Amino acid sequence: MSPVTDAYQEAAYWLELLSEGEPDPVTARRFENWLKADRQHAVIFERMVNTWDSPILQEALTSSAPTDDDRRGGTNHPLARWLMPMAAAACLLLALWQFPFREHQPPYTAHFETPAMQPRQLSLADGSRLQLDAASIVDVRLDATARRIELRQGAAYFDVAHDASRPFEVGIGDARVTALGTEFNIESSSYGIDVTVHEGRVEVRTRAPEEPVILSAGQRVRISSVGIEAAEAVALDDLLDWRQGWVEIRDRPLPYLLERLSRYSPAPIVAEGELAQLPIAGRFRLAETNENLALLARLYGLSVSRSPDRIELRRAVD
């Protein structure tokens, strides 16, 4: 049996034990020692507790409500009888370890970089999940009071674990995005920062003296040199982005597209001069560098020049 499986079984044991009522001093000390023995013990235990906030579990509990016969007989449905003391154990957990134990844990820090053409999926120590696009960089710091991520380059999709006591904040330059229990995508480029909310809500703000903006699922906002632009609606069911291997743009300058294509190219793709203002629209598969370049050349009358350290698009000469 793997150590991870053992840890989950041990966490289940403690949930069952704590559900029986307030522990005696010896049991409380044993529980605290188990938490301190391995950082993952606290993560796994908290992950179990957080499942009580899951809509799926709530639906299961509702659908498993006591029947009329159960009520007349003075009994509860077995699932309800099992869930209620476990919810009490969740409260007990917070009282026992969240404040005194986690405050003394050293901060969790990590640095992640992905090379070109190689996106990566990550699991953070708090249970959050992170999808990092190719050619992207993030720094992570999780401590007792806050969870802070710095997106230094590229794009990332965040699936944030619920923890009301520790805000989850993503910094991108001077901008800050704070999760309010959510899933969201951030894409950074020299043209600005795009924030798209897929589930829940986020707060978007900058260091400039302007009011923060609250975004809900199905909304996107751009942060540019002029500040936070007006939010727009996004059809999430029809949305294609880098996680599906695509980039879809409407009337954006050519370099805006090339920055995204460069994350999946062996060399940076650039266009200078008048081409920097050439508006582009279309849908492009990120992994098909040669096909994309050929398509752009054909549609917009361009030529492709290659060197060991870059690929350049120019106006074709007749």
What are the tens digits of pLDDT across the range 8-29?
A: 777 777 776 666 666 666 677 7
Q: Where in the chain is the domain with CATH 3.55.50.30?
A: 245-315
Q: Would you state the pLDDT for residue 3?
A: 55
Local confidence band at 318 (pLDDT 50, 70, 90 cut-offs): low
Q: Residue with structure tokens 């009522």? A: 21
SS3 per residue for 176-192: EEEECCCEEEEEEECCE
What are the tens digits of pLDDT across the range 206-231?
A: 977 778 999 999 999 999 988 999 99
Q: Which fold has domain 245-315?
A: Phage tail protein beta-alpha-beta fold (3.55.50)
What are the tens digits of pLDDT across the range 121-169?
A: 999 888 899 999 999 999 999 998 899 999 999 999 999 988 878 899 9
Q: Give yes or no for residue 65 having a pLDDT over 60.
A: no
What is the pTM assigned to this prediction? 0.67
Cβ(19)–Cβ(89) below 8 Å: yes
Distance between CA atoms of residues 27 and 44, nearest Å? 19
What is the number of other CB atoms lying within 10 angstroms of the CB of residue 182?
Answer: 21
Output the CATH code of domain 108-238. 2.60.120.1440
Mean of the pLDDT values across residues 253-277? 93
Output the CA torsion sign for 191, 297, 269, 242.
Answer: positive
What are the tens digits of pLDDT across the range 303-313?
A: 999 998 999 99
Burial pattern 96-111, b for ≥16 Cβ within 10 A else e, equals bbbeeebeebeeeeee
Mean of the pLDDT values across residues 50-65? 46
